[in-house]
Amino acid sequence: MKKVIVIGAGASGLMAAYAAAKNGNEVLVIEKNEKAGKKIYITGKGRCNITNDISAEDFLPNVVSNRKFLTGCIYRFSPERLMRFLEDGGLSLKTERGGRVFPLSDKASDVTACLLRYCQNAGVIFHFNEKVTKIEVLDSTLSGIITDKGRYSPDCVLVCTGGVSYSATGSTGDGIRFARELGIQTVDLKPALCGIVCSAPFLKELQGLSLKNVRVSAYLGEKCVSSFFGEMLFTHFGISGPTVLSMSSEVNRLDVSKLRIAIDLKPALDAAALDRRVLRDFDKYINKKLSNALAELLPKKLILPIIAASGNDENAPVHSVTKAQRERLVHALKNFSLRAVSLRPIEEGIVTAGGVAVSEVDPKTMQCKKVKGLYFCGEALDVDAYTGGFNLQIAFSTGYAAGSSIG
């Protein structure tokens, strides 16, 4: 039996604590907040998108950073196994659009309660309102930890402190700081799954407009570096929504200020088919002004911006629009462009990209290669995925890998 301390009572920490205790170890969880699972409570807008109902094989393409590193632990503790684990613990689940899995109650608190029951039944002890300030290492071996309430000498420490997103939940990058202080390589932190600040005329007028079934692409020069189909939203700062959140995770290590965002408003139609569609509308509204002839094609808020982007006159009679002018209109519909300025602040990212370099960690056990007895799990690692329950699954899988490897 080993003495194990888990730092952090979030998703990875609770799973790691249970797995370590189940192996017969003496486990203490130290959490600086007043309760467990504080970030779990706000995920999925308070409903907690636990995982995605998908096979391990299909899960991995949804990982943005260091997919290969996660392969073993995702297969070992897959979404299917996590769902069965939670249901066996008394949590009823449901699967919604896109495979997103939620508690049947729509209460994130029920997820935390289920995990706590598992931990408590396995004999895990919790210390709340206690903050770890330092990890001590002697001769490349863990020797102790210091908190604001004392010193401990465990055999193993599992760092499950999260990233830096939503710092009000306690995610302030403590684990990444511990790694840096110990000379463990880390990767610069970036916001992931966040909105993109943009610059373009009419952005203020478009605020609040939600679009479905569009394709949003990011270009660096002439090269497309990211592209997603689905929903998006115009906001006070630029753009957000599912397509944009996923895009942010793919472009966050590029110079975002050099990106052009192109929105294809009619991706189901190629330029020729869209031109025919425009012509039909023009025939129907042949005596109207151009600005009054696009109501069946576009949301009202988008009509003037699209006409402006095409370089046409909104007051021109439809019957006077030339073929060249119509081609410009079709081009604007297929390539409505915004200039990216930056990503939203890292505190607003749903997850944090970057963290402890995976080259420093054993992918089977999550143990640090440089310090025996020290483990890193979840968002403290340089791993992240798209939206849809994938990041919480990574937290659970890495936590399970670490905890179950001890003892």
For residue range 187-220, what is the model confidence (pLDDT) as tens digits? 999 999 999 999 998 999 999 999 999 999 999 9
Q: What percent of the chain has pLDDT over 90?
A: 93
Q: Please check the confidence at residue 170 and state whether its pLDDT lies above 70.
A: no
Place of tokens 């170890």: 25
Residue type, 68: K
Compute the distance between CA of residue 85 and CA of residue 105 in angstroms, rounded to an integer: 17
Contact between 117 and 89 (Cβ < 8 Å):
yes
171 compared with 229, residue with greater pLDDT? 229
Compute the distance between CA of residue 321 and CA of residue 340 in angstroms, rounded to an integer: 32
> Residue 388 gets which letter from DSSP?
S
- Condensed to tens digits (0 to 9), the pLDDT of residues 87-100 reads 999 999 999 999 99
pLDDT confidence band for 43 (50 / 70 / 90): confident
Q: Please check the confidence at residue 172 and state whether its pLDDT lies above 90.
A: no
State the Rg of the chain over Cα.
25
pLDDT confidence band for 267 (50 / 70 / 90): very high
- Condensed to tens digits (0 to 9), the pLDDT of residues 339-370 reads 999 999 998 889 999 999 999 999 999 999 99
> What is the average pLDDT across 5-10?
97
Q: Please check the confidence at residue 383 and state whether its pLDDT lies above 90.
A: yes
> What is the average pLDDT across 303-332?
96
Contact between 33 and 86 (Cβ < 8 Å):
no
Compute the distance between CA of residue 308 and CA of residue 319 in angstroms, rounded to an integer: 18
Cα-flanking dihedrals φ and ψ of residue 56, to 5°?
Answer: -60, -40
In the chain, list all ranges with CATH 3.50.50.60. Answer: 3-191+350-404
Contact between 275 and 183 (Cβ < 8 Å):
no
Per-residue pLDDT at 245: 96
How far CA 271 is from CA of 23, 108, 217, 221, in Å, comes to 61, 45, 17, 22
Pick one of 3.40.50.620, 3.40.630.180, 3.50.50.60, 3.40.50.740 as the CATH number of 3-191+350-404. Answer: 3.50.50.60
Compute the distance between CA of residue 19 and CA of residue 27 in angstroms, rounded to an integer: 10
Report H helices in 122-189: 174-181
Helix, coil or strand: residue 377: coil
Question: Average model confidence (pLDDT) for the chain?
Answer: 96
Tokens of 213: 């079934």
Q: Taking phi first (over 0 means left), then psi (-120 to 50 degrees means alpha), and beta for anything else, what does residue 250 get?
A: alpha
> What is the average pLDDT across 381-392?
96
Q: Please check the confidence at residue 45 and state whether its pLDDT lies above 90.
A: no
Edge-to-edge strands of the sheet including 26-30?
A: 125-127, 26-30, 3-7, 156-159, 374-376
